Amino acid sequence: MNGINGTNASSALARRRVVVVVPTYNERESLPVLVRKLLALPTARLSVLVVDDNSPDGTGALADELARFTDGRVSVLHRRVKEGLGRAYAAGMTRALEMGADVVIQMDADGSHPVSAIEPMVAALTANHAAVAVGSRYVEGGGVDAAWPWHRRLLSSGANAYVRGVLGLTVHDATAGFKAWDARALQIVEPDTVLSNGYSFQVELAHRVVTAGLTSVEVPIHFVDRTEGRSKMSLGVQLESLMMPWRLRRSSWRARPSAVVPRAA
């Protein structure tokens, strides 16, 4: 984010108790690489919560191994069956709040979301007193993998424009899956009560941020393709993502009246 230098970014990160929630399904190759990078960030107050849906490739057991050798900085939430990205995040975010996080980060395990953006995202969240800092592909300075063919770019930007249009969202990257949440704001948007099972979880929470009158800030990121493992995107997930904005438009979800708008940290 413009105007935030490395020193300020580092100190904002070091001041906050950060839990990074990482959902995994068959991410054996990618997870150790990500965890190593996360634990190398310049703060000892950051921990990682892996949410594994009983991956057939043994990612859950591997995560347990990582937990054993990282002095309590990695923990694992094991779930019995694959229920979708949205359900995994809902469970993981709820657990992160119980763990006493004051910033909850959500990111994919496959290396698509750059760890180097975490410091500026937490700095932007803190400096702007925002509810959420979005790692954004669609603001100046951000982008998608240079190797993406034109039709994939069109699909990604088209899906984003569709969602923004149906729901009237002003955030430039409404389908982003890389975000840093202020814990109090995350409580207000209630991830455990979402309708979405799959990737539309991202859109649903973006919509709840607006419905609850909270503010978001966007930090440019470069999204890169996974180098290991395979995508979990299925036809069912895509159909849910297509229909969900219309369901959300009609939804009656409102923040609880007792919910307090977050103030400066």
Binding site for ligand GTP (CB under 6 A): 23-25, 27, 51-53, 82-85, 88, 108-110, 112, 226, 231-233
Q: Give the nearer residue to ligand GTP in terms of CB position, either 134 or 212.
A: 134
Q: Which is nearer to ligand GTP, 84 or 220 (CB)?
A: 84
Pairing of the two strands 179-182 and 103-106: antiparallel
E strands, 154-265, are 179-182, 216-220
Residue nearest to ligand GTP (CB): 231
Residue 51 interacting partner from Mg ion, ligand GTP, none (CB closer than 5 to 8 Å by kind) = ligand GTP
Q: What are phi and psi of 65, to 5 degrees?
A: -60, -45
Helix (H) or strand (E) holding 76: strand 74-78
Among ligand GTP, Mg ion, none, what binds residue 219 when CB lies within 5 to 8 Å by partner kind? none
Q: Which is nearer to Mg ion, 198 or 262 (CB)?
A: 198
Q: State how far the Cα of 192 lies from the Cα of 65, in Å rounded to an integer.
A: 28
Least separation in angstroms between residue 176's CB and Mg ion is: 12
Binds 53: which of ligand GTP, Mg ion, none (CB < 5-8 Å by kind)? ligand GTP
Two structure tokens written together for 208: 């709840």
Question: Which residue number, 94 or 126, has a Cβ lying nearer to ligand GTP?
Answer: 94
Comparing CB distances to ligand GTP, the nearer of 88 and 255 is 88
Q: How far is the CB of 14 from ligand GTP (least distance, A)?
A: 26
Give the residue with the Cβ less far from ligand GTP, 231 or 252: 231
Measured from the CB atom, the residue of 26 and 75 that comes closer to Mg ion is 26
Residue found under tokens 């979301």: 113
Q: Residue 24 binds what, of Mg ion, ligand GTP, none (CB under 5 to 8 Å, by partner type)?
A: ligand GTP
SS (H, E, C) 158-177: HHHHHHHHHHCCCCCCCCCC
Closest approach, Cβ 92 to Mg ion, in A, equals 16
Cα torsion for 82, 236, 134, 16, to the nearest 10°?
-10
Strand partners, 180: 105, 133
3-state secondary structure of 21: strand
The residue nearest Mg ion at its CB is 110
Q: Considering CB distances under 5 to 8 angstroms, the limit depending on partner class, which of Mg ion, ligand GTP, none binds residue 241?
A: none
Among the listed residues 80, 96, 78, 263, the one whose alpha carbon sits nearest the alpha carbon of residue 192: 96
Structure tokens at 232: 């979990």
How many CB atoms lie under 10 A from the CB of residue 151?
Answer: 9
Q: Which residues contact Mg ion (rule: CB under 5 A)? A: 108, 110, 112, 226
- C-beta of 95: minimal distance to Mg ion in Å? 22
Q: Is 143 helix (H, G, I), strand (E, B) or coil?
A: strand
Contacted entry of ligand GTP, Mg ion, none for residue 23, CB cut-off 5 to 8 Å set by kind: ligand GTP
Instruction: Tell the residue number behind the tokens 């959902």, with chain if given.
Output: 23
